[in-house]
Amino acid sequence: MIELIPAIDIIEGKCVRLTKGDYDTKKVYGDPLEMARQFEDLGMRRLHVVDLDGAKSKHVVNHSTLKAITTCTNLIVDFGGGVKTDEDLEKAFDAGASLVTVGSIAVTDPDLFLGWLEKYGADRLILGADVRNGCVSINGWKEDSDVRLEVFLSRYMKQGTRNVLCTEISKDGTLTGPAIDLYRSIMDHYPQCHLIASGGVGSTEDILALDSAGIPAVVFGKAFYEGNINLKDPRLKIC
């Protein structure tokens, strides 16, 4: 069964969701720690935490909220948003993140990312591949680079990257269904990749479709918060 990874995005200490990364579409869903506890009570083992304040300000901001989640739950947490420096990365790990997602730096400073990959290992880093119109977006999706997704993935998979979080930005927060063809294409090219699909999941059926397509893992958020996904559904086979 596909690995289920609920998402908590944080702005000003609150759990929120955006649509297509637009901060003006922010909808607040409550306290991140309480939401994390709810996911744990529902049988989740993993959690994806995004520091949207950090992504916008280009440095980690909500590390104290991350620390509260990792201290008060047993969830395996991956953290991203604003990780630009060695200090940012250490803050995330020191706050209890088991894995850290790095996207922008892998575009703007490849040598730094490769240094982190060598120092911390492929099991502790997730390559963030947020894509819009075929190119990787950076800095909280505020900028589109000229780096094509296929070139980006090829470079880092050859360097030993195994974990990839790919978000189709045009789908994110829309509940209109994930970009299954995109994710299937990535898996066809890199069968060794632990791909985490993100963006557009609107229902349990979408998760089952990704599972049928052979996608290893999926991040979802808004669909759960809006009541479209029931994690007690036996079809999801939560371990």
Question: Which amino acids are annotated catalytic?
Answer: 9, 130
Pairing state between β 163-168 and 194-198: parallel
Write the DSSP string, 211-239: HHTT--EEEE-HHHHTT---TT-GGG---
DSSP-assigned beta bridge partners for residue 5: 219
Helix spans in 60-179 (H): 63-72, 86-94, 104-108, 110-120, 149-158
Q: How far is CA 18 from CA 25, 119, 199, in A?
A: 5, 33, 11
- 230 Cβ contact partners less than 8 Å away, ≥ 6 residues apart: 204
State the Cα–Cα distance between residues 129 and 190, nearest whole angstrom. 14
